Amino acid sequence: MPRQDGRAADEPRPLKIQRNYLGAAPGRVLISSGVTTVLCTASVSDTVPPWLAGRGKGWVTAEYSMLPGSTSPRKSRDKGKPDGRSTEIQRLIGRSLRAGIDMAKLGERLITVDCDVLQADGGTRTAGITGGWVALIDAIRSIKEEDGSPAFNDANTPVVDSVAALSVGVVAGEAVADLDYAEDSTAEVDMNLVMTGDGRYVEVQGSAEGAPFTPDQLSQMLSIGAKAIARVTAAQAEALA
């Protein structure tokens, strides 16, 4: 069955990654995946979580929020503790980004990646991971030694591999990648994939929305997801070049 926007099953939505966007953080990226738009910023601190103090290791964490006007009807603004959905998503983003970083090489530094959804049309968490990775790299590149020289270079970089993410699912019986809201809301299976640049899986989150899915369907989703994420990884590399 043809997709409403004419995309192939393994084709992601048009992707735009804009670095050095508004703000004061060293990493600031506006990422658009189709209509879904997320502002990702990455800030660096020399104060690590208490449980890491004195261990010579760093940490990467994330926060996620949907702004009130990002969806209709209006989403209430998070006040104080994030809601359960936001908490689950920001934990996913943090886990995913940490998979690409050597914390020992990062040193005792905390990098916080904030993902604020400006417009939502499905795939906000995966856009946060993809854009958050680019913002994270810019933040790492900004770190300086006391004499003002760059703290990292190609020989001692804490970056292990890139990280990108997309949704996949089964819609009208067909496995497809990068679902927009219309597809997501009617999907028989909904899954999020997070992968490294060399094709390894960081996380596979999936569930049937109705009838259980088959091993063949799972294989199809993983296959088209890998192909689509490879395009996203290439877009990240192009943006960072």
Residue pLDDT, tens place only, 4-58: 889 999 999 999 999 999 989 999 999 999 999 999 999 999 999 999 999 999 9
Note whether residue 5 is domain-resident.
no
- pLDDT tens, 186-232? 999 999 999 999 999 999 999 999 899 999 999 999 999 999 999 99
Both structure tokens of 87: 């908490």
Note whether residue 10 is domain-resident.
no
Note whether residue 161 is domain-resident.
yes
Instruction: State residue 1's pLDDT score.
Output: 58
Note whether residue 101 is domain-resident.
yes
Look at residues 181, 176, 180, 155 and name the one whose alpha carbon lies nearest to residue 221: 176
Residue pair 197/32 in contact (Cβ under 8 Å)? The answer is no
Global pTM reads: 0.95
77 or 42, which is more confident: 42
Please tell me the total number of residues recorded for the chain in this structure.
Answer: 241
Share of the chain above pLDDT 90, in %: 85
Note whether residue 6 is domain-resident.
no
Say which CATH number the domain at 58 has: 3.30.230.70
Note whether residue 137 is domain-resident.
yes
98/213 Cα distance (integer angstroms): 30
State how beta strands 59-66 and 110-119 pair: parallel
Note whether residue 7 is domain-resident.
no
150: β partners = 144
The whole domain housing 80 covers 15-240
Note whether residue 1 is domain-resident.
no
- pLDDT tens, 103-149? 999 999 999 999 999 999 999 999 999 999 999 999 999 999 989 89
Burial class (CB within 10 angstroms; exposed 0-12, middle 13-18, buried 19+) of 233 = buried
Could you give the number of structural domains in the chain?
1
